[in-house]
Amino acid sequence: VLFQIFDAFKPRLHDSNSKVNQVALEALHKMIPVLKDHLSPVINMLIPAIVDNNLNSKNPGIYAAATNVIQALCQHLDASLLLQPFCTKAQFLSGKAKQDLTEKLA
């Protein structure tokens, strides 16, 4: 069931409408403390959806929401679940997103 929910939710994290994109990130931020480590099966799907475009967004609301989601993941999930997906994404990012994710890894 979790896969079905996040398969439907994930495209909203890439939505071309910036308001939809931002609200999806804000909703995810609220879900993380509730779901915590139950997110482990979908974390490899979620991290690219959160990071791609959103951490390098020129829209300050989207960037802030993406940063808040990354922070919530770090706070509420076991670090071992995040290490591999963060490392994988950090290798291929550029700009502010690479810097932000590298700082989280450190």
Q: What's this model's pTM, rounded to 2 decimal places?
A: 0.94
In this prediction, residue 30 carries a pLDDT of: 97
**What is the tens place of the pLDDT at every residue in 44-77?**
999 999 999 899 999 999 999 999 999 999 999 9
Share of the chain above pLDDT 90, in %: 92
Number of domains forming the structure of the chain: 1
Number of C-beta neighbours around residue 32 at 10 A: 20
At 52, list the tokens.
Answer: 């791609």
| pLDDT of 1 over the 90 cut | no
Mean pLDDT of the 81-89 span? 94
Q: Are residues 25 and 65 in contact, defined by beta-carbon separation less than 8 angstroms?
A: yes
Token pair in block for residue 105? 């890894």
Range of the domain at 49: 1-104
- Counting Cβ atoms within 10 Å, is residue 27 exposed (0-12), middle (13-18) or buried (19+)? middle
The answer to whether residue 87 scores a pLDDT higher than 90 is yes
The average pLDDT across 9-22 equals 96
pLDDT attached to residue 55: 94
